[in-house]
Amino acid sequence: MPTYHLNVNGSKKKVETEADTPMLYVLRDYLELNGPKFGCGIAQCGSCNILINGRATNSCLLPISSIGNAEITTLEGLLAHKGKLHAVQQAFINEQAAQCGYCLNGMVMTAVGLLNANSNPDEMEIRIAMQGNLCRCGTHARIIRAIKSAVKNL
């Protein structure tokens, strides 16, 4: 089985797995990270989102063989030195923007990806950026509020 050297959350990780293993399974099953969630496995819901070079991407269909040296960030990797939360993470706590929270990983990662590209999005831009992320509990209104408040605290 091939060996891959990945750059995950700022450190080098060695993973030996099949070339077609999607990053979602690499991160959860091999590297024991909990952030990215299995929601559909067909890139329709956003629960598995991670950042690749700062851009939010579905990880459930992304084979490990396609990653190369890209910088991978998961929810866990958003924590700054000494465990300080990213502004988006803090905003989700402040706004209590979760019910079951299963989609929360994807929501936070997509929001961070948005803010990386556009540090001052308006509500319409937020809604468009979040369009690929599904939430069943109906927490959308709180999530929008959380992202808006994160913008102020970036």
45-84 positions binding another protein, by CB under 8 A: 45, 47, 74-76, 79, 83
Q: Does 31 bind another protein (CB under 8 A)?
A: no
- Find all residues with CB under 8 Å of 62, minimum gap 6, and list them: 22, 23, 24, 52
Radius of gyration from C-alpha coordinates of the chain: 15
Among 89, 112, 113, 121, binds another protein (CB under 8 A): 89
Q: Does 133 bind another protein (CB under 8 A)?
A: yes
- Nearest by Cα to 98 from 41, 64, 141: 141
Among 34, 65, 66, 118, binds another protein (CB under 8 A): 34
Q: Does 127 bind another protein (CB under 8 A)?
A: yes
Q: How far is the CB of 26 from another protein (least distance, A)?
A: 8
- With residues binned 3-state (H G I as helix, E B as strand, rest as coil), the percentages for the chain, rounded to 5, are 40, 15, 45
Burial class (CB within 10 angstroms; exposed 0-12, middle 13-18, buried 19+) of 35: buried
Interaction site with another protein (CB under 8 A): 1, 17-18, 21-22, 25, 28-30, 32-35, 37-42, 44-45, 47, 74-76, 79, 83, 85, 89-90, 92-93, 96-105, 108, 126-128, 130-131, 133-142, 144
